[in-house]
């Protein structure tokens, strides 16, 4: 399948970007940050490096200190257990017992849909239960960078494998990952690499490898590489096959184009010498060495990381002070991702107050983050594996309603929020998705989501009880704002929030008494409902305000 | 829909008020059971709920003059001098606080109904809990998570928000003037209301109180999200259009910013007159928690409570004047409520502590003017914890409003109110038009459709009957009757019909279903 026709990488002509050239900007660079280390800084960091900023995580890292925090966030963890068969009640998979994984089982058309659902639920579960590291945020970044779609690949075993590869290399070597992605059976299937032969070349992967995965295009949208480079790269990549039993790729020398491949001036007129027999597979490394020898790869990837972790607009100062030196670090470390992230996340640029709160939350930063921030409890695997997957799937669906469908981005370019000029992140928010975001948080506060009798919802009373001083309405409101908004709000807004808690009364004691009544008799439903109703209203208001959509 | 099954077996035995202490009711008309015979009126009734937050001192609001000597024993330091109490025509033994001249005049013009002694068994004295009881219409010991008005709107518009807005109900079901939607409007799954603070600058509104966006990237993106938020409000345009349709309002309102309740009611009048079909508006006035300095010790007719009642009276009076001015006074009924009244005995700091029963005020062209219930009896030697006796359960009052103003059949009231309550004559019996409810309830539902559509030679038509007579017809766009597909009695259910195009030209045809008071039209398209 040719994905090209789905791509529109240029902005719609009618769209005129508002002029924000006068907006206050920063010229800070990669000098290590040396400012205060409080909830504000940790929240800023975690909301970008993880999903949300759960109170326990924020408190933990405030205590750990700046240096240790970055180090811990960038420490790789262990590979998770693969997705499981929880769909027996819908289809009795003959090859996979209930509770066992299907990722190595034989292909089964009857199970494809259910396994795909399982894959997406499982991935959602990994984000929900992430360790205190950047790995899941980076796995998502890489899965979106090396974008594939389960709906096209048509076999979730492949999609799982591509996903696991991205997770394995979340903090690994980007060049090695690019090599493995080029050989990944899921990607070979998605971009027709397995159909690319000497006699019937298919340029699909050869093009995306350069345009979307490595060198990119210049600021005017003109490719650095030539059309001939696409054809030559495609020839290098001829001969790969998929082993559908072992879900691996193989190399078929007979299908490989053994001729020399001549590249353009952009690649210094490199000639990749054609090789025959099994050695034909060695040409891939020649190709990647040539591509990664250009200066554009590091710049392209660093810009994309910047757009994911900092902000989408890269002004001249950010290009000079952040992107260029980061790219230099990337190349001098032979494309290891970790030093780049380490430098960026430790930088004064990253923590600059002018760079806080400017990221529009991606849908998963609403759905997954809400569950983590408010400690939403899912059914435990030990006693209710089916319920756990069902509710993970519910959460997956909610993000999908906000246009972030993990496993099925719109096309090979991934989500437009990370490439589409000039709107970028603003593409997450429109008159359909914004109400869906509000409906999601409203629902989580009220009835939650239910599947086969299992339910997830925000227990806002229990959450409030974890805060430092919930009995004092002023301190309570301040802490909630500190933890859930990117910036402080005016006294007017705080007064308004207090008005909700006090039900229009003027004395703080009314809230304090109500809270103390509840704490003194937590099983008294009347007391519980009094605080529940007011907290629900206040948090609904907080989450419905536009401020909540920014991190 | 399943809600129909909730009808209690008891609901048929509607209680007709057997004992009515109202001795000055000007009109005491037929029982609600006769309402099926009521003449048809407009079906666009609006209820305005005015919440007096903090617990209003009913005894200093509606003053029982026949109890004056007992009152002077019980609350001498806050007692309104009898000479200053405003008299009510036809009700010599009951008067109003001297600052309520506007309401006095409305009463004397037959536009006010006072319901005495409204409370509930085992009243709660906590602001929060009592407020929740009033908003949810629960028993004292029962906790409900839905509001009474929310349950009514869910009953009337059961599919909301799916399928809304639509042509039958293009407007918000309920609007709260403020930034947070009240528990009173909470439905079983979603809130049935939305809040606005200024209908012309909608942008500022839906976002509630809005801090200015700073001149940073954060401010830039915040502005972007706020703009989308504005655009994505399904109801923004209708509210703005309604507000903009009214360019002139009554000059009776006090200066903007001096009386928040008047400011809120002015918005309500504007939106009602501007054409919104919104059923319920909620507004509020706070500060009634008058433990101390309820009155000025030097002049008991003045002070904090006098100021609050003055605002209430001025606001309601100006609002009613405006509704007349805008020619919509027949559509609107207003109602005040507070989470409780205050104690009979005043305290030493010129105030009163949390009490129980208190009067509720209804106003509007459609109310049965007068006083429902008797003056409270004040004991000669009241104790500090004494409260006035409950005469009416507040849920009786709600039930009556639903029945008499929103025309909910008596058999359905218990679905909303969860029990059966005595019905009281509060609204004039001519107010209700039978059939509106069914129309509203089906507004989000498809009752007739055809498949395939478009079609060439023939198509299946599926239609739903709620019981009774069904007429199903195909019309040309010129209005010519092409075919009658059904004409007869169809018990409640879903039915199929078969339509064969007998040589009519390609194009659009109207498929019209009529089922008793319901009707729905769909387009059928014939192609070659």
Q: What span, in angstroms and rounded, lies between the C-alpha atoms of A499 and A504?
A: 5
- Closest-approach residue (CA) in chain A for B206: A545
pLDDT in tens, B52-74: 999 999 999 999 999 999 999 99
What are the chain A neighbours of B211 within 8 Å (beta carbons)?
489-490, 492-493
Interface of B with A (CB under 8 A): 53-54, 126-129, 131-132, 141, 143, 145, 179-181, 183, 189-191, 207-209, 211, 214-222, 224-226, 228-229, 231-232, 234, 284, 286-287, 289
The per-residue pLDDT for B505 is 86
State the nearest Cα–Cα gap between B353 and chain A, in angstroms.
14
Is the Cβ pair B208, A541 closer than 8 Å? yes
The per-residue pLDDT for A328 is 98
The per-residue pLDDT for A21 is 52
State the nearest Cα–Cα gap between B214 and chain A, in angstroms.
9
Low-confidence stretches of chain A (pLDDT < 70) are: 1-22
- Closest-approach residue (CA) in chain B for A506: B287
Cross-chain CB nearest to B228 (options A355, A434, A526): A434
Tell me which of A43, A450, A526, A536 to substitute to probe the interface with B (most B C-beta atoms closer than 10 Å): A526
Q: In sequence order, what DSSP letters do the residues of B93-123 get, joined into one string?
A: EEEE-TT-HHHHHHHHTT-EEEEEEEE-SS-
Q: Judge whether residue B44 has pLDDT over 60.
A: yes
Is the Cβ pair B127, A503 closer than 8 Å? yes
Token pair belonging to A265: 């001036």
Q: What span, in angstroms and rounded, lies between the C-alpha atoms of A386 and A409?
A: 26
Burial profile A47-72: b = 16 or more Cβ within 10 angstroms, e = fewer: bbbbbbbbbebbeebbebebeebbee
What are the chain B neighbours of A533 within 8 Å (beta carbons)?
128, 132, 145, 183
- Closest-approach residue (CA) in chain A for B234: A431
The per-residue pLDDT for B475 is 79
Cross-chain CB nearest to B222 (options A356, A505, A546): A546
- Asked if B283 and B49 count as a contact pair (C-beta separation under 8 A), the reply is yes
When pLDDT is cut at 50, 70 and 90, the band that residue B474 belongs to is: confident
What are the chain B neighbours of A48 within 8 Å (beta carbons)?
none
What are the chain B neighbours of A510 within 8 Å (beta carbons)?
127-128
What are the chain A neighbours of B287 within 8 Å (beta carbons)?
506
When pLDDT is cut at 50, 70 and 90, the band that residue B22 belongs to is: very low
Three-state SS letters, A328-342: HHHHHCCCEHHHHHH
Burial profile B378-395: b = 16 or more Cβ within 10 angstroms, e = fewer: beeebeeebbbebbbbbb
Q: Where are the beta strands (DSSP E) in A375-485?
A: 449-451, 454-456
pLDDT in tens, B400-445: 999 999 999 988 999 999 988 888 889 998 888 544 455 566 667 7
Residue A173, strand partner residues: A336
Cross-chain CB nearest to B128 (options A359, A487, A530): A530
State the nearest Cα–Cα gap between A358 and chain B, in angstroms.
4
- Asked if B350 and B81 count as a contact pair (C-beta separation under 8 A), the reply is no
Cross-chain CB nearest to B222 (options A313, A355, A547): A547
Q: Judge whether residue B149 has pLDDT over 90.
A: yes
Is the Cβ pair B218, A550 closer than 8 Å? yes
The per-residue pLDDT for B506 is 86
- Closest-approach residue (CA) in chain B for A500: B180
- For A373, phi then psi, to 5°, come to -60, -40
Beta strand B174-177 pairing with B193-196: parallel
Short-list B446, B442, B462, B461, CA closest to B517: B442
| Residue B177, helix vs strand vs coil | strand
- Closest-approach residue (CA) in chain A for B184: A533
Tell me which of A432, A457, A505 to substitute to probe the interface with B (most B C-beta atoms closer than 10 Å): A505
Helix (H) or strand (E) holding A181: helix A174-183
What are the chain B neighbours of A506 within 8 Å (beta carbons)?
286-287, 289
Tell me which of A312, A403, A504 to substitute to probe the interface with B (most B C-beta atoms closer than 10 Å): A504
- Closest-approach residue (CA) in chain B for A425: B221
- Closest-approach residue (CA) in chain A for B51: A504
The per-residue pLDDT for B188 is 87
Token pair belonging to A261: 């491949």
The per-residue pLDDT for B433 is 57
pLDDT in tens, B183-239: 899 998 878 888 776 565 444 444 456 788 999 999 999 988 888 887 777 787 788
Edge to edge, the sheet with strand B493-500 lists B448-451, B458-465, B493-500
Structural domains in chain B plus CATH codes: 2-440 (no CATH), 446-526 (2.60.40.1930)
What are the chain A neighbours of B222 within 8 Å (beta carbons)?
357, 546-547, 550
What are the chain B neighbours of A493 within 8 Å (beta carbons)?
208-209, 211
State the nearest Cα–Cα gap between A73 and chain B, in angstroms.
25
- Kindly report the average pLDDT of chain B as a whole number: 83
The per-residue pLDDT for B7 is 26
Q: What span, in angstroms and rounded, lies between the C-alpha atoms of A201 and A196?
A: 5
DSSP annotation of B81 reads: P
- Closest-approach residue (CA) in chain A for B224: A426
- Closest-approach residue (CA) in chain B for A532: B145
State the nearest Cα–Cα gap between B271 and chain A, in angstroms.
24
Give this complex's ipTM: 0.89
pLDDT in tens, B332-387: 999 999 999 999 999 988 999 999 999 999 999 999 999 998 899 898 888 888 88
Q: Express the helix, strand and coil content of chain A in percent, nearest 5 each.
A: 55, 5, 40
State the nearest Cα–Cα gap between B296 and chain A, in angstroms.
20
Q: What span, in angstroms and rounded, lies between the C-alpha atoms of A138 and A144?
A: 10
When pLDDT is cut at 50, 70 and 90, the band that residue B517 belongs to is: low
Helix (H) or strand (E) holding A63: helix A55-64
What are the chain B neighbours of A355 within 8 Å (beta carbons)?
217
Cross-chain CB nearest to B225 (options A510, A529, A549): A549
Q: In sequence order, what DSSP letters do the residues of A102-134 get, joined into one string?
A: -TTSPP-TTTHHHHHHHHHHHHHHHHHT--SSS
- Closest-approach residue (CA) in chain B for A494: B209
């Amino acid at each position: 399948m040719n994905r090209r026709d789905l791509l529109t990488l240029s902005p719609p002509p009618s769209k005129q970007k508002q002029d924000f050239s006068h907006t206050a900007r920063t010229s800070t660079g990669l000098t290590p940050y040396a400012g205060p280390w409080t909830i504000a800084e940790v929240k800023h960091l975690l909301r970008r490096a993880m999903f949300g900023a759960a109170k326990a995580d924020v408190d933990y890292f405030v205590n750990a200190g700046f240096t240790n925090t970055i180090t811990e966030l960038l420490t790789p963890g262990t590979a998770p257990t693969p997705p499981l068969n929880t769909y027996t009640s819908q289809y009795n998979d003959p090859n996979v017992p209930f509770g066992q994984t299907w990722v190595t089982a034989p292909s089964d058309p009857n199970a494809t849909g259910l396994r795909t659902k399982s894959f997406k639920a499982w991935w959602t579960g990994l984000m929900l239960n992430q360790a205190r590291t950047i790995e899941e945020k980076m796995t998502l970044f890489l899965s979106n960078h090396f974008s594939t779609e389960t709906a096209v690949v048509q076999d979730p075993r492949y999609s799982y494998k591509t996903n696991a590869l991205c997770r394995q290399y979340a903090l690994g070597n980007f060049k090695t990952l690019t090599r493995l992605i080029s050989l990944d059976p899921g990607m070979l299937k998605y971009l027709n690499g397995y159909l690319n032969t000497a006699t019937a070349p298919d340029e699909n992967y050869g093009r995306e490898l350069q345009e979307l995965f490595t060198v990119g295009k210049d600021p005017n949208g003109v490719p650095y590489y030539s059309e001939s480079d696409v054809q030559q790269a495609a020839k290098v990549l001829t001969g790969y096959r998929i082993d559908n039993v072992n879900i691996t790729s193989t190399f078929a020398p007979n299908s490989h184009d053994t001729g020399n491949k001549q590249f353009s001036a952009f690649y210094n007129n490199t000639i990749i010498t054609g090789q025959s027999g099994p050695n034909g597979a060695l040409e891939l490394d020649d190709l990647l060495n040539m591509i990664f020898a250009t200066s554009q790869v590091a710049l392209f990837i660093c810009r994309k990381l910047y757009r994911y972790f900092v902000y989408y607009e890269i002004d001249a100062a950010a290009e000079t002070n952040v992107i260029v030196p980061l790219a230099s670090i990337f190349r001098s470390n032979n494309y290891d991702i970790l030093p780049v992230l380490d430098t960026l996340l430790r930088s004064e640029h990253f923590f600059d107050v002018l760079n806080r709160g400017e990221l529009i939350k991606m849908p998963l930063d609403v759905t997954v983050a809400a569950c983590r921030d408010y400690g939403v409890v899912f059914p435990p695997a030990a006693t209710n594996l089916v319920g756990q997957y069902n509710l993970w799937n519910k959460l997956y669906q909610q993000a999908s309603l906000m246009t972030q469908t993990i496993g099925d981005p719109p096309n090979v370019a991934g989500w437009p929020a990370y490439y589409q000029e000039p709107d970028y992140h603003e593409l997450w928010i429109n008159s359909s998705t914004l109400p869906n975001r509000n409906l999601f948080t409203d629902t989580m506060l009220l009835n939650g989501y239910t599947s086969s009798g299992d339910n997830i919802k925000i227990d806002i009373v229990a959450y409030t009880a974890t805060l430092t001083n919930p009995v004092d309405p002023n301190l309570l409101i301040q802490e909630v704002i500190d933890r859930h908004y990117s910036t402080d709000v005016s006294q007017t807004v705080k007064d308004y929030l207090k008005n909700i808690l006090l039900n229009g009364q003027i004395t703080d004691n009314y809230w304090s008494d109500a809270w103390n009544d509840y704490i003194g008799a937590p099983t008294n439903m009347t007391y519980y409902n009094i605080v529940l109703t007011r907290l629900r209203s206040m948090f609904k208001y907080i989450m419905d305000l536009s401020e909540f959509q920014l991190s | 829909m399943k809600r129909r099954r909730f009808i209690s077996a008891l609901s048929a035995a509607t209680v007709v008020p057997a004992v009515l202490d109202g001795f000055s009711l000007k009109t005491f008309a037929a029982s609600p059971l006769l309402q099926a015979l009521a003449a048809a009126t407009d079906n666009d009734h609006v209820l305005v709920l005015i919440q007096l937050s903090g617990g209003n001192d009913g005894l200093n609001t509606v003053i029982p003059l026949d109890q004056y000597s007992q009152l002077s024993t019980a609350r001498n330091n806050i007692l309104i001098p009898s000479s200053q109490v405003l008299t009510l025509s036809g009700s010599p033994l009951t008067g109003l606080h001297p600052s309520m001249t506007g309401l006095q005049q409305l009463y004397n013009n037959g536009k006010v109904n006072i319901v005495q002694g409204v409370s509930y068994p085992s009243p709660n004295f906590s602001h929060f809990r009592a407020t929740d009881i009033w908003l949810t219409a629960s028993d004292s010991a029962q906790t409900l998570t839905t509001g009474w008005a929310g349950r009514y709107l869910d009953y009337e518009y059961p599919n909301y928000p799916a399928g809304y807005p639509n042509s039958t109900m293009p407007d918000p079901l309920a609007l709260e003037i403020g930034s947070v939607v009240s528990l009173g409007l909470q439905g079983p799954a979603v809130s049935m209301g939305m809040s606005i603070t200024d209908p012309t600058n909608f942008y500022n509104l839906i976002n509630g109180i809005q801090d200015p966006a700073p001149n940073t990237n954060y401010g830039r993106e915040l502005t972007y999200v706020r703009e989308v938020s504005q655009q994505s409000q399904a109801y923004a345009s209708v509210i703005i259009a309604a507000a903009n349709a009214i360019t002139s309002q009554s000059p009776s309102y006090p200066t903007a910013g001096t009386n928040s309740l008047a400011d809120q009611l002015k918005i309500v009048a504007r939106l009602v007159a501007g054409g919104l079909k919104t059923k319920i508006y909620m507004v509020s006035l706070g500060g009634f928690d008058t433990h101390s300095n309820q009155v000025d010790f030097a002049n008991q007719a003045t002070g904090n409570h006098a100021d609050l009642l003055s605002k209430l009276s001025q606001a309601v009076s100006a609002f009613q004047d405006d509704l007349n001015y805008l020619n919509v006074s027949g559509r609107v009924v207003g109602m005040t409520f507070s989470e409780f009244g205050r104690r009979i005995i005043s305290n030493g700091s010129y105030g009163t502590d949390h009490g129980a029963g208190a009067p509720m005020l209804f106003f509007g062209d459609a109310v049965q003017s007068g006083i429902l219930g008797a003056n409270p009896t004040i004991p000669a030697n009241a104790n500090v914890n004494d409260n006035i006796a409950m005469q009416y359960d507040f849920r009786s009052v709600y039930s009556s409003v639903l029945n008499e103003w929103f025309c909910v059949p008596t058999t359905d009231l218990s679905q909303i109110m969860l029990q059966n309550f005595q019905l009281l004559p509060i609204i004039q019996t001519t107010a209700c038009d039978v059939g509106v409810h069914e129309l509203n309830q089906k507004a989000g539902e498809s009752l007739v459709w055809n498949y395939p559509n478009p079609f060439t030679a023939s198509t299946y038509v599926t239609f739903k009957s709620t019981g009774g007579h069904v007429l199903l017809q195909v019309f040309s766009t010129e209005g010519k009757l092409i075919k009658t597909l059904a004409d007869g009695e169809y018990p409640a259910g879903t039915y199929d019909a078969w339509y064969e195009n007998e040589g009519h030209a390609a194009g659009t045809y109207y498929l019209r279903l009529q089922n008793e008071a319901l009707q729905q039209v769909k387009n059928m398209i014939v192609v070659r």
